[in-house]
Amino acid sequence: MNTLNETHDPCLRSWVSSAQDERSDFPIQNLPYAVFRPRTSGQAWRGGVAIGDEVLDLAALAHAQLIQASDPLAPAALNAAAQETLNEFMALGPAHWGALRRALSRLLRWGAAEKDALQQCLVPQAQVEYRVPARVGDYTDFYTSVHHATNVGRLFRPDSPLPPNYKWMPIGYHGRVSSLLISETEVRRPRGQLMPPGAPGPTLAACKRLDYELELGVFIGPGNELGQAINLDEAEAHVFGLCLLNDWSARDIQVWEYQPLGPFLSKNFATSLSPWVVTMEALAPYRLPFTRPSQDPQPLPYLDSPTHRTQGSIDIQLEVRLQTLAMRQAGQPAAPMSQSNYRHAYWTLAQMVTHHAASGCNLQPGDLLGTGTQSGPEPGEGGALIELTLGGQQPLSLPCGERRTFLEDGDTVALRAWCERPGAARLGFGVCEGQVLPASP
């Protein structure tokens, strides 16, 4: 796991003035990665780093040759990060990632001699477009929030909400890569088989109970060979970073199809990602101990270690906001739906990666894992509408006077996340946003 170094110093300031705004997600202590190009330019996609409200164009930086070979790993890391996907950079591993982070931090600090030349490599974020930052070979979605699993389980199995294996291993299923969408891509309401209560048989129809799911996305760095497991204390060396993830869910399709093999059409139509990937090194100041209630089964040895107990969790605050079409037309801002924190996750990043590879499954650079919906222990901390409305039984009231049980056409869902604590710089993840369109005719 990453330790604190010069790049985490909360006193660091950047010559990019917008990075000093206390509301900015992207101070110099963050430096997340994305793949971008100037909007509507038709130019080649390339890697970029967020600093304030600017994007540092890594291809332009590589061409300018401003990173010297005083750290021999940094130039190679820069060339890999400047490509049209981040896969090559993700594959290099923590030593290269750390070398480039140090080099970028030094170039962007107040007083850097390279300021004038580096300014030519900045592009305003308002003028760019993004795409999914890696070529994702495989996508696995987990179910790591015991609060979400319990809340949803109570709706369908009141006497036994959790499956018997839940507290013994991280549960997951393989998702659909082709429908991974970058933030701001519109999401069309899906169709599937619906089985209304009391009906003699199912019908093919548009989903009526469309939901969001507040998750984190986990991008894999270096992979493992087929047949080779990953040790728990080495697992995070295989994790490049985190983004926001909205696993859109058709609840009425899901309830009819999920037995015996799990979700299918209810999940495969869209999964939205935020463009910025916050590195594990940037998150080092926000580590927390991993704990498990003493009355619960403790993890099996391959999912446990003293180091992991000390700092296996991460303090990441999470939020969902909703803006209806009527709110948007009236100029009203999005309304907060819920807040939670990733520290409540029952299974950690390292445990997800270790269990995924325990069978010998070969993870690859750019593979994506989802954490599953992140809900907190309190009633208002549900990460999905199915929890907040008790399966649609208790509609939520919005500031404009509208009510929601599930999403309606025209609704826009925005996920946000940030980290802050005394003695560390606040950093954020940007936004993961999507608007619901009507089902296709």
Per the CB < 8 A criterion, the answer to whether 29 and 7 are in contact is yes
CATH of the domain at 100: 2.30.30.230
Classify each residue of 118-157 as buried b or exposed e, where b means 16 or more C-beta atoms within 10 Å of its C-beta.
Answer: beebbbebeebebbbbbebebbbbbbbbbbbbbbbbbbee
Q: What is the pLDDT of residue 68?
A: 76
Instruction: Write down which residue in 104, 130, 156 finishes a domain.
Output: 130
| 15 in a structural domain | yes
Res. 441 pLDDT band, cuts 50 70 90: confident
Number of domains comprising the chain: 2
Q: Is 356 tagged catalytic?
A: no
Q: How far apart are CA 182 and CA 276, in angstroms?
A: 10
Q: Calculate helix-pair angle for 94-108, 73-81, nearest 10 degrees.
A: 90
| 249 in a structural domain | yes
Per the CB < 8 A criterion, the answer to whether 248 and 211 are in contact is yes
**Domain identity same for 115 and 257:** no
Residue type at position 294: S
Q: What is the pLDDT of residue 195?
A: 95
Domain ranges, residue 125: 6-130
Q: How far apart are CA 334 and CA 186, in angstroms?
A: 17
User: What does 379-422 look like in DSSP terms, one character per residue?
Assistant: GGG-SSHHHHTTTTTSPEEPTTS-EESSB-TT-EEEEEEEE--T
Q: How far apart are CA 279 and CA 290, in angstroms?
A: 20
Res. 43 pLDDT band, cuts 50 70 90: very high
CATH of the domain at 292: 3.90.850.10
**Domain identity same for 123 and 18:** yes
Q: What is the pLDDT of residue 82?
A: 98
Judged on CB neighbours under 10 Å (0-12, 13-18, 19+), 227 is exposed
Instruction: Write down which residue in 112, 130, 148 finishes a domain.
Output: 130
Backbone angles phi, psi at 308, to 5 degrees: -65, -40
Per the CB < 8 A criterion, the answer to whether 137 and 44 are in contact is no
The answer for 24, left when phi > 0, alpha when psi is -120 to 50, beta otherwise, is beta
Q: How far apart are CA 110 and CA 375, in angstroms?
A: 39
**Domain identity same for 413 and 318:** yes
**Domain identity same for 178 and 320:** yes
Question: pLDDT for 311-357, tens place per residue?
Answer: 999 999 999 999 999 999 999 999 999 999 999 999 999 999 999 99
**Mean pLDDT of the region 375-390:** 96
**Domain identity same for 81 and 149:** no
Backbone angles phi, psi at 62, to 5 degrees: -65, -40
Instruction: Write down which residue in 130, 150, 166 finishes a domain.
Output: 130
Residue 276 has pLDDT above 90, yes or no: yes
| 44 in a structural domain | yes
Residue 379 has pLDDT above 90, yes or no: no
Distance of CA 301 to the CA centre of its chain: 28
**Domain identity same for 24 and 173:** no
**Domain identity same for 312 and 336:** yes
| 1 in a structural domain | no
Per the omega criterion (within 30 degrees of 0), is the bond before 133 cis? no
**Domain identity same for 65 and 205:** no
**Domain identity same for 315 and 401:** yes
| 214 in a structural domain | yes
Q: What is the pLDDT of residue 13?
A: 98
**Domain identity same for 162 and 73:** no
**Mean pLDDT of the region 110-115:** 95
Extract the tokens encoding 9. 């110093």
Q: 359: Cβ–Cβ under 8 A, 6 or more apart, which residues? A: none
Q: How far apart are CA 318 and CA 186, in angstroms?
A: 22
State the pTM of this model. Answer: 0.97
Catalytic residue among 8, 96, 148, 355: 148
Per the CB < 8 A criterion, the answer to whether 432 and 246 are in contact is yes
Partner residues linked to 339 by β-bridges: 319
| 157 in a structural domain | yes
**Domain identity same for 84 and 166:** no
Q: What is the pLDDT of residue 153?
A: 93
**Mean pLDDT of the region 23-47:** 96
Judged on CB neighbours under 10 Å (0-12, 13-18, 19+), 327 is buried
Question: Cβ–Cβ contacts within 10 Å for residue 421, how many?
Answer: 11
Question: pLDDT for 195-235, tens place per residue?
Answer: 998 999 999 999 999 999 999 999 999 999 999 999 999 99
**Domain identity same for 99 and 186:** no
